Amino acid sequence: MILNNSADTEYEDYQQANNPMNSEERPDKPEEACGVFGIYAPGEDVAKLAYFGLYALQHRGQESAGIATFEGEKVHLHKNMGLVSQVFNESILDKLSGNIAIGHTRYSTTGSSRKRNAQPALVETRLGKVALAHNGNLVNTMQLRSELLKDNCNLVTSTDSEMIALAIAQEIKAGAEWLESCIRAFHRCSGAFSLVIGTANGIMGARDPNGIRPLVIGTLGNNPVRYVLASETCGLDIIGAEYLRDVEPGELVWITEEGLASFHWSQQPQRKLCIFEMIYFARPDSVMHDESLYSYRMRLGRRLAEESPVDADIVFGVPDSGIPAAIGFSQSSGIPYVEGLIKNRYVGRTFIQPTQSMRETGIRMKLNPLKDVLYGKRVVIVDDSIVRGTTSRKLVKALYEAGALEVHMRISSPPVTHPCFYGIDTDSQDQLIAATKSVEDIAKQLEVDSLAYLSWQGMVEATREDPQSFCTACFTGDYPISIPEQVKRSKLMLEGATV
């Protein structure tokens, strides 16, 4: 077994304490969830296929990555801090032999960004080892932790993901087999979870009854059929797998040498896909509702132009997530689309602190205005969201310094007024600019000539799906899953919200 978990935890604590991310330097976006990947493919190089699957899902988490493979009863595991391409190389992947692979790329939500919290979580059970990769966030973590500790479970990490794996092991200890133990464990979990679970017998994919986080099934080859699980269809495309269907809310799929079996473990599923997956998180080439998200995001931009027209010379998007909506805005308004900002796509998170003068120039490390394009122009800049407003303010300043005569900002989603409890790292409510300020006040703070957001109705109508099939709690405060008071108070600073 390869267990790459030997880092000195005292050094990790030191690094955490001495390299805090300045609040002004944090991305002005909700932070991505996580990416999960699983493959059952006897005869294939499953570790390498998992590597490329995670590579395609890198946008969902850039803090740690891991792959576990099953070679009969033997498990090989490698995980570490960093990007997928930093954590793995050819020699490491060669040691991850087997017919089954489970992969994960992480942005920390529950549990800090430390090596011990990297996934997949690996737990010993009566039936053998289980590896679990989790996208989402439980809201009953404290209750589940208390139950596990009463049974003397050994909690190695501070993640809710490990607790799900331990709950499965606990049910197995009580006498259940794999399938029954997982279903029993799921019933003990409240919140958002899309899971890929590896065992010596096969892999499972499961979603919570609301299907808040996505999970898709793909096929690889046809004689015999091999199955793949991934957070998004882009994780299938990269390895040549064909999209079969989504794992449904409240469904568990069990993939073994006998093929794929489906079990609807929840009797009352009610689909509530996180709409931010469609607006921002998922890659634009990923498919949801039988079309690419690029198409949906262009419709958002067209609707935005209809709702909030403006007299301007050029329109452009904040790379990369604002670009499709900006193109849609241009199509609907007739304002020419240009590239007004160039993104340095090789800038990742760094522990090297910039100088004060660099801080004052703001976002130039990641985004640089094209002065000759902007000079003397009235510009419309389109972005998908504003969370704190810190980056947006610096960006507007940079556009004026580049010679823009007017700057009009358009946002292709409604104001974010409530924090997420289901796997997205948003600030407490008092840090969300739209929770404390009106649109007019935000415009003054950003120093733009005008600011407009897309309406909630425009956002959901653009999906062409039932509006009630999405979680839009970050815009409305209407949380589909009941949140314990202790958890609620940690983020809902401005109201005694009823959930």
Residues labelled catalytic: 34
| Residue range 86-95, pLDDT digits in tens | 999 999 999 9
| Residue range 101-130, pLDDT digits in tens | 999 998 755 545 578 889 999 999 999 999
Maximum Cα interatomic distance, the chain, rounded to a whole number of Å: 73
Model confidence at 9, pLDDT cuts 50, 70, 90, reads very low
Residues 256 and 201: beta-carbon distance below 8 Å: yes
Least confident of 6-20, 43-57, 482-496: 6-20
Q: Is the pLDDT of residue 4 over 50?
A: no
State yes or no: 274 annotated in a binding site: yes
pLDDT, greater one: 338 or 10: 338
Least confident of 196-210, 349-363, 406-420: 349-363
pTM for the predicted model, two decimal places: 0.90
pLDDT, greater one: 7 or 289: 289
State yes or no: 234 annotated in a binding site: no
Mean pLDDT of 218-245: 96
Nearest-angstrom CA–CA distance, 251 and 264:
4
The closest of 162, 163, 263 to 204, measured between CA atoms, is 263
Q: Is the pLDDT of residue 308 over 90?
A: yes
Residues 246 and 68: beta-carbon distance below 8 Å: no
Nearest-angstrom CA–CA distance, 387 and 43:
47
Nearest-angstrom CA–CA distance, 293 and 285:
6
State yes or no: 182 annotated in a binding site: no
Nearest-angstrom CA–CA distance, 142 and 144:
5
Nearest-angstrom CA–CA distance, 113 and 131:
20
Mean pLDDT of 235-249: 98
Q: Is the pLDDT of residue 274 over 80?
A: yes
Model confidence at 223, pLDDT cuts 50, 70, 90, reads confident
Mean pLDDT of 136-148: 94
Q: Is the pLDDT of residue 494 over 90?
A: no
Residues 135 and 38: beta-carbon distance below 8 Å: no
Beta strands in 305-448 (DSSP E): 314-317, 341-343, 367-369, 378-383, 406-411
State yes or no: 189 annotated in a binding site: no
Q: Is the pLDDT of residue 339 over 90?
A: yes
Residue type, 17: A
Mean pLDDT score of the chain, rounded to an integer?
A: 89
* Beta bridge partners of residue 410, listed in sequence order: 382, 452
